[in-house]
Amino acid sequence: MASLRGSGSRGGGGPHQLFAILLIIQAGVLVDCFTTPSSLRSNIGTIHGPKTIANTAGLTTSPSHLPSSVHLKQYGRLSKSMMKMTSTPALNNGEIPDSNDNSSSATTTTTTTGKRPSFPVVLWRFTRPHTLIGSALAIPAIHMLAAPTYSEVFTLKTLASIIFASIPALFMNLYITGLNQITDVDIDRINKPDLPIAAGHLSLPTAKAIVIFSGIFSLAMGLSHPFLSTNGLSVALWASFILGTMYSLPPIRFKRFHLLAAFCIIAVRGAVINAGFYAHAQAAAFGGGAGTTVIGCLLSDTRCALSSLFFSVFGFVIALMKDVPDVKGDKESNIKTMPVRYGQHRIFGSVRRLLTVSFLSIGIGFLKGAANAPSQVLTTCRTILGVSSVLAGYSVRKEAVSVDPEDSKQVYKYYMHLWKLFYASYLVLPFAR
């Protein structure tokens, strides 16, 4: 793995040792999903965790219901504890927050003030921004990877290709993440109570409308242009749509089965995104023509094949790490994720080691390639990638040392650290030569 070499079908020269690996990425069927489960008719907005004592005490947030100073003087029998209770603001539902309940602090603050997040803020949270940012970085980075030379990147033709691919891709990202939230409300109330639907900030009808519009708009735009609607773009959008739907939507709902769930994630993060948009870039921006296909790029272009392989591995790692802190809700909903089946400690350690080894292998490969590069430019590019990969591998291991796999907050923080490495990898992807 350390010294893989090969040349892409478009040239670009030199060893492509694990090449894109250093850079970490990333409607009839809808009707069934959009039937409201009976459980959703229950109080979605209930605060999770506070103790219901305000109603018992006859308190509300209205000032007119609080004991005035006159009353306190007149009725000196009011105890200090009751006075403390009356000075504590009650929630909208009449509950007084538990000061020891940190998990609901954000929700408590919002409810106490009586303010709901604005719709743009709710919509932004509904998109799952960390996944949206990953898709937004991937497409221009893959275009630069597919470019025969750097000079061909900075053209209006390339810019048009990037923009035309990015818009439907981002809407498809919203379709997939939104659909998953709609079908997972009960689980999210336990695992992720701050998500818009689970927190009661976004109604189901509105969420369904957003998801349906996003899916239709994405697929329609992908087919709308005579030249920019390429085979690669169509494969990327339609495969994402089909696999994303099958992953979340009953009765198929692949996420219930760990092997099928892993297949969906590997396919989308690997071949679908990387090979699909690579083929699109070749056809729309770099003269590949309408005959450029995803399969053709995977079989004949080493850069495309190796980048797809690496991002498949990284996507798999991110997906499993996401499930580690979600064991409680997944168990209650009978979702047989790998952490549920094999244990949080085992899965956390396995995926951490897998990603560390991948980074270090790529780093060694690129550094060896830099020593044998035929030009100073290639030496510089490969050195940047090699050093970045080694540092990323070290970071994966170092940040994991203090993480308790059974502590949801610690694992989630580590999970978001992996996404930062994912972003950084796309930023250096253009140096993979």
Tokens of 411: 């694992």
Cβ partners under 8 Å of residue 48, min gap 6:
103, 104, 107, 189, 193
Residue of 271, 227, 215, 264 lying closest to 244 (CA atoms): 264
pLDDT at 114: 53
What is the per-residue pLDDT across 363-372, written as a single tens digit (0 to 9) for each?
Answer: 999 999 999 8
CA–CA distance, 92 with 371 (Å, rounded to integer): 66
Residue % of the chain over a pLDDT of 90: 54
Identify whether 232 is part of a domain: yes
241: nearest Cα among 210, 216, 223, 276? 216
Q: Which has more pLDDT, 100 or 356?
A: 356
* Residue 350, token pair as written in the block: 């396995």
Q: Which residue has the higher pLDDT, 300 or 220?
A: 220
Model confidence at 7: pLDDT above 70? no
Is residue 106 situated within a structural domain?
no
Burial class (CB in 10 A: 0-12, 13-18, 19+), 148: middle
Query: At a CB cut-off of 8 Å and minimum separation 6, what does 42 contact?
Result: none
| Spatial separation of the C-alpha atoms in residues 242 and 319, rounded to whole Å | 18
- Is residue 357 situated within a structural domain? yes
Task: Name the average pLDDT for the chain.
Answer: 78
Q: Is 0.75 surpassed by the pTM of this model? A: no
Domain total of the chain: 1
327-354 tens-digit pLDDT: 988 888 888 889 999 999 999 999 999 9
Give me the helix-helix angle, 408-428 and 344-371, nearest 10°: 20
Distance CA 367, CA 135 (A): 28
Nearest to 52 by CA among 84, 98, 102, 104: 98
Answer yes or no: are the C-beta atoms of 386 and 364 closer than 8 Å: yes
> Tens of pLDDT along 385-432?
999 999 999 999 999 999 999 999 999 999 999 999 999 999 998 888
Please determine, for residue 224, whether its predicted confidence score (pLDDT) is greater than 60: yes
Position 146 in a domain: yes
Query: What per-residue confidence (pLDDT) applies to 126?
Result: 96
Write down the pLDDT at residue 195: 94
- C-alpha distance from residue 407 to each of 100, 216, 411, 412 (Å): 17, 39, 6, 9
Give yes or no for a contact between 249 and 32, defined as CB atoms under 8 angstroms apart.
yes
Q: Which domain holds residue 163?
A: 119-431
Please give the pLDDT value at position 178.
Answer: 96
Query: Is the pLDDT score of 66 beyond 80?
Result: no
Residue 320 lies in a domain: yes
Residue 79 has pLDDT above 80, yes or no: no
Q: Using CA atoms in the order 194, 196, 201, 207, what is the torsion angle rounded to 10 degrees?
A: -160
| Radius of gyration of the CA atoms of the chain, in A | 25
* Cα separation, 265 vs 271, whole angstroms: 10
* Tens digit of each residue's pLDDT (9 = 90 or more) over 166-187: 999 999 999 999 999 999 999 9
Is residue 28 situated within a structural domain? no
3-state secondary structure of 377: helix
Give the other-Cβ count within 10 Å of 100's Cβ: 7
User: % helix / strand / coil in the chain, to the nearest 5?
Assistant: 65, 0, 30
Mean per-residue pLDDT, 302-324 = 90
Whether residue 166 lies inside any domain: the answer is yes
Query: 418 or 93, which is more confident?
Result: 418
189 within some domain:
yes
How many other CB atoms are found less than 10 A from the CB of residue 121? 12
DSSP states along 310-366: HHHHHHHHHHHHHHGGGHHHHHHTT-B-HHHHH-HHHHHHHHHHHHHHHHHHHHHHH
pLDDT digits (tens, 9 = 90+) for 140-149: 999 999 999 8
